[in-house]
Amino acid sequence: MAPAKSSDPVSVDVSAILNMVGDFASIQKTVRHLCSQTIRDRLEIVIITTPDKVPLALNAVLDRAGAWQVVTIPEMPTAAAGWVAGIHQARAPVIAMCEDHSFPELNWAEALLDSHREHCAAVAPVVSNANPRSLISWANFLLCFLDWYSPEQHNGPVPAGPGHNTSYKRSVLLEYKDLEEWLSSERVLHFDFAAKGRTILLNTRAATNHVNISLPGSYLAQSFLGGRLFGASRAAKWSRMKAVIYALGFPLAAAIRLSRILKVLNRRGKRQESRFFAALPWILAGLVCHALGEALGYLGGVGNVRQRYMDFETRRSEHVNEHDRRILEDSLPDNAKTLRQFPAKV
């Protein structure tokens, strides 16, 4: 595999991996945030797409980064397949997973790199809710990013990082032969880090703003499919008896997670900001759907869930309300808009 197009080779410290399943407009806002980083000259943007979309990915905005590549794969059945292709082609020792609906703040890359100078396998950012007007968005956010929402600690070891938004040492990831399987449910990968004595560090100066699902059907479906994906990945090497026992305990899983939410939202301000009590019916519905999916994953494996789940992660605009869809759209200052008038460097 080789990049379809790339900038001239340079020395970079962080490679940001970003899947592109639509046109460039679908990732443009994330790209602009990456190109605005304080260390953008040491940042590489790696866009993963299919051969037919390469011309769409070549945009002059990319030249504001230190380096960029467009890497092609024949098809993108899962988001993890794209990330793996990007990881293998990346030119930096630190890999940062990025999404078209997660917008890092200006010193995000610099803060991640500072922590990666320490002895660790991965570095987690803090995550904020980028579409806070919706109760469903808050429910989805709390189910997915609770541990990285206004954390009490400033920096230091944490059990796990946020899925699809964590950064890794590339050398650590390349040790995993079935990397696509591991990245399908990153929490399971982080369990493996813990088992091997590897450290994940939190850096609260690294922050990203995440747009969450805000349509009812999409939220419930994503919760269920995410649960099944997690359950199948977690139980991949379990005995049948252990899988059955865990599946039967699915109501307990929902109760434990609710207790965890209450524990983390330990200040009145956090409960008010997250609209916890107003969003509680949606939180409970999501917890039950996730627990049911988890039980099915323990018993029935992953099935075709990876392909179905990818739609929620790579086509976020289709799973948010009209107001939140506008948040996903890029709004460039006039001087940045002029960049698109010139051909990309290839």
Tens-place pLDDT, residues 195-207: 999 999 999 999 9
b/e code 232-241 from CB counts within 10 Å (16+ = b): bbbbeeeeee
Q: Is residue 299's pLDDT more than 80?
A: yes
Q: Report the pLDDT value the prediction gives residue 8, as an integer from 0 to 100.
A: 83
Q: Is residue 7's pLDDT more than 80?
A: yes
Tens-place pLDDT, residues 220-274: 999 999 999 999 999 998 999 999 999 999 999 999 999 999 999 988 999 999 9
Q: Report the pLDDT value the prediction gives residue 339, as an integer from 0 to 100.
A: 31
Q: Is residue 6's pLDDT more than 90?
A: no
* CATH number for the domain whose boundaries are 3-137+148-212: 3.90.550.10
Q: Report the pLDDT value the prediction gives residue 345, as an integer from 0 to 100.
A: 30
Closest CA to 311 of 78, 130, 52, 34: 78
Tens-place pLDDT, residues 45-70: 999 999 999 999 999 999 999 999 99
Q: Report the pLDDT value the prediction gives residue 330, as an integer from 0 to 100.
A: 81
Give Cα separations from 248 to 139, 284, 291, 292 (angstroms): 25, 19, 10, 10
Q: Report the pLDDT value the prediction gives residue 20, as an integer from 0 to 100.
A: 96
The whole-model pTM stands at: 0.90
Q: Report the pLDDT value the prediction gives residue 244, as an integer from 0 to 100.
A: 97
Which residues contact residue 290 at a Cβ distance below 8 angstroms, ignoring those fewer than 6 apart?
143, 223, 224, 226, 227, 230, 253, 254, 257
Tens-place pLDDT, residues 122-142: 999 999 999 999 999 999 999
Q: Report the pLDDT value the prediction gives residue 341, as an integer from 0 to 100.
A: 30
Instruction: State what percent of residues in the chain have pLDDT above 90.
Output: 85
Q: Where are the chain's structural domains?
A: 3-137+148-212, 216-326
Q: Find the DSSP H helices in the chain.
A: 28-35, 54-57, 79-89, 108-116, 135-145, 170-173, 179-184, 186-195, 216-234, 240-248, 250-264, 268-273, 276-300, 305-314, 322-328, 334-337
Token representation of residue 17: 């991996």
**Mutual orientation of helices 276-300 and 216-234 as an angle, nearest 10°?**
40
8 A C-beta contact, residue 274 and residue 142: yes
Give CA–CA dist 15/155, Å, rounded.
22
Give CA–CA dist 160/147, Å, rounded.
9
Give CA–CA dist 75/9, Å, rounded.
26
Give CA–CA dist 259/249, Å, rounded.
16
